[in-house]
Amino acid sequence: MKAKYSAYTQTKELQYSGKDGSSPPPGSASIQKRLYITFPIVFIVALSMAAGFGKVPPIIPPAYLIISLLTFIEYVIDKKKAETGKRRIPELSLHLWELFGGWPGAMLAQALIKHKNAKFSYQIVFWLAILINLAVLFSILYFIAKSSK
């Protein structure tokens, strides 16, 4: 039993240290976390500023905030269910929240509560939902701007 513990301990030590025993440089996880915190905040602030200058309908920033808050809550609920072994929220449901404007809240949840941020297949659909949402938003804003001229 002691040998297994020792091998496990050594393996964990090797994972957390460089070849020379020093700490590894900050990994992509910390870069991802900074991106997942910064990007949604910058997006919401920029959207709010654009609304303040009359370039975006004033309903859009609060709509993003409300949907993002609800999405964040869905992530928290799903994480608690995962930890307790209860029936989870389907990934499709989470992706629909992201698609309809909750992706800033989803991004913050992935960074802050570390949920759904490591599953590659989930991340592919997550980023696709963001791209579709932004494409629809910018298309709507383009047609609004064009029709007001």
Residues 121-128: contacts with CB under 8 Å, at least 24 apart:
122/91, 125/91, 125/95, 126/95, 126/98
The pTM score is: 0.78
Q: What is the pLDDT of residues 78-112, one digit of tens each?
A: 999 999 999 999 999 999 999 999 999 999 999 99
DSSP annotation of 116: S
Digit-coded pLDDT (tens) for 47-75 = 999 999 999 999 999 999 999 999 999 99
Every domain of the chain and the residues it spans: 31-147
pLDDT of 126 strictly over 80: yes
Residue 30, pLDDT score: 86
Neighbours of 143 (CB within 10 A): 10
2 pLDDT exceeds 60?
A: no
At a CB cut-off of 8 Å and minimum separation 6, what does 133 contact? 98, 99, 100, 101, 103
Cα–Cα distance list, 20 to 6, 109, 129, 143 (Å) = 20, 35, 42, 58
Per-residue model confidence as pLDDT tens digits over 4-56:
444 444 444 444 444 444 444 556 678 888 999 999 999 999 999 999 999 99
